[in-house]
Amino acid sequence: MIDYPDINPEIVRVGPLAVRWYGMMYLIGFASSYLLVRKQIKERESMKAGRAGSASGPDGRTLPLAEVDTLYTYLIVGLLLGARLGYALFYNFSYYLRHPLEVFAVWQGGMSFHGGFIGSVIAGLLFCRHFKVDFWHAADLVIVTAPIGIGLGRIGNFINAELYGRPTDVPWAMVFPGAGPLPRHPSQLYEFFLEGVVLFAILWTLRGKEVKRGVLTSLFIILYGSFRFFVEFFREPDIQLGFVLGFLTMGQVLSGLMVLAGVLLFLYRKRASSA
């Protein structure tokens, strides 16, 4: 067994205000994604320099560098709203149905990746429709950077000693504060490695390949859903839900649907016009 590294979740506190590691992970994740999207656009602009043609592909206008700031304003709002509403809907619906105003009490915790992903997609669609940017082009630029924020978020979960794993006797098991005396899987670190490190390595490597628009987005959906489905076997089910479909957790149900949607999208985009 390994001792849990008891890290203070608060970086600094000034009176009633505190800067927490979890929030800092969100900021670093957004900033990293923003910078890498700008990097990709600049690389593509450099490749186009000296070549004839417009900035439009077969599916529509590509994302201009000048509009990245606006895109991220949409995405951040969509992600945060979607993550909170998704948690209320998927993981604690009966409670928030009785206490609807507490949906807005984000300081109490409770965010859903699947809800945040849906919120980001809706926000991206609204942005692309308003600014007449091809959605799949913008989605592929952003999605290859998404694992950075996801991985950092899992580190934040680990520091907060939340979303811990099921009891186990593996040599690297840890006793998490507030989770009882039993050693457990550090499932947050499993997710950090698969959903963060591995997923980023795969997508970032493929970004320079000649693939049709939307294929990278579909691969993200398939791979994230598969990794999350697998790790959920080691993660403690949400206490208010337990198992929701036989031996499956809510996270596995949502991730299974995500994989199915990703496969259908992959097949659809593979048949679309060339990138």
Pairwise CA distance, residues 248 & 232, whole Å: 8
Strand partners, 245: 248
Nearest C-alpha neighbor of 23 from the set 106, 112, 114: 106
> Mapping DSSP to helix (H, G, I), strand (E, B) and coil, where does residue 235 land?
strand
Pairwise CA distance, residues 120 & 114, whole Å: 10
Pairwise CA distance, residues 117 & 217, whole Å: 12
Residues annotated in the binding site, as ranges?
A: 154
DSSP state of 129: H
Amino acid at 19: V
Greatest C-alpha distance within the chain: 67
Give yes or no for a contact between 11 and 24, defined as CB atoms under 8 angstroms apart: yes
Decide: residue 125, CB within 10 A, 0-12 exposed, 13-18 middle, 19+ buried. Answer: middle
Residue 61 host element (H or E): strand 60-61
Q: Which two tokens stand for residue 219?
A: 């691969």
Give yes or no for a contact between 81 and 119, defined as CB atoms under 8 angstroms apart: yes
